[in-house]
Amino acid sequence: MWWSSAAGRRRRARLAALCLLPPLLLAGCAGFTPLYPAGTASGLPQFEIAMIPDRNGQVLRGLLLDRLSSGSAANGLYRLETALSVSTSGLGTRGDGTTLWMQVTVTASFVLKDGGGAARAFSISRTSGYNQTREDYASLEAERNAVMRSLREIADDARLRITMLLRTAATARPAAQSGAEQT
């Protein structure tokens, strides 16, 4: 019979190993906790993002709304205030003294305030570069694209930092409450 032969025993051993492998792999996921806590569709609480002046500020605010909000947040649990600065400097020059390579540094300073008045401040800075050409339109478009790249990176990083700030505050709060209950 095929099930009693050596080849049959090997086949059954492989089949048993394949059946046991998925539960063993899933057992390693027992301590998994998601990065974004439950609460809203995006996993974050409601945010009110203050207006940021200038066109670049409007773009950054829109990117932050996309990443932090799950809907209208006029009365959010948290308020995010942002100051934005953009600076440009020339790095390389041609033989005739004109600038060849430009560097754009975008810095956003954030203040995250909760309903209780506590504030957490942090800043994010990104640097991008572009080639300065003799054509004005091409140079302006290259500068705009460099600024937009930096704004997208800042918005992505801000979401991660805010998530970690909220997560740290949420884990510290129960520890402080349990310490207060013990005394």
pLDDT tens digits for 39-54?
444 556 677 888 999 9
pLDDT of residue 116: 74
- Kindly report, residue by residue over 1-55, the tens digit of the pLDDT: 555 677 777 888 888 777 777 776 766 666 655 555 544 445 566 778 889 999 9
12 part of a folded domain:
no
Mean pLDDT of 59-74: 76
Is 139 domain-assigned?
Answer: yes
CA pair distance 107, 87, nearest whole angstrom: 9
Please report whether residue 91 resides in a domain.
yes
* Residue 178 domain-assigned (yes or no): no
Residue 99 lies in a domain: yes
**pLDDT tens-digit readout, 85-142:** 999 988 877 777 676 888 999 999 999 888 777 788 999 999 999 888 888 898 899 9
Contact 112, 82 (CB under 8 A): no
Q: Which domain holds residue 89?
A: 47-172
pLDDT at 179: 53
In a domain, 85, yes or no: yes
Contact 113, 79 (CB under 8 A): yes
What percent of the chain lies above the pLDDT cut of 90? 30
Number of domains observed in the structure of the chain: 1
Q: Is 127 a member of any domain? A: yes
Residue 14 lies in a domain: no
pLDDT digits (tens, 9 = 90+) for 139-168: 899 999 999 999 999 999 999 998 888 777
Pairing of strands 99-114, 78-93: antiparallel
| pLDDT of 39 | 46
pLDDT of amino acid 41: 42
What pLDDT, on a 0 to 100 scale, did the predictor assign at position 11?
83
Residue-level pLDDT at 61: 92
Check residue 182 and give its pLDDT. 52
Give the pair of three-digit tokens for residue 54. 């200038």
Of 168, 133, 128, 134, which is closest to residue 151 (Cα–Cα)? 128
* CATH code, domain with 56: 3.30.160.150
The whole-number pLDDT of residue 166 equals 79
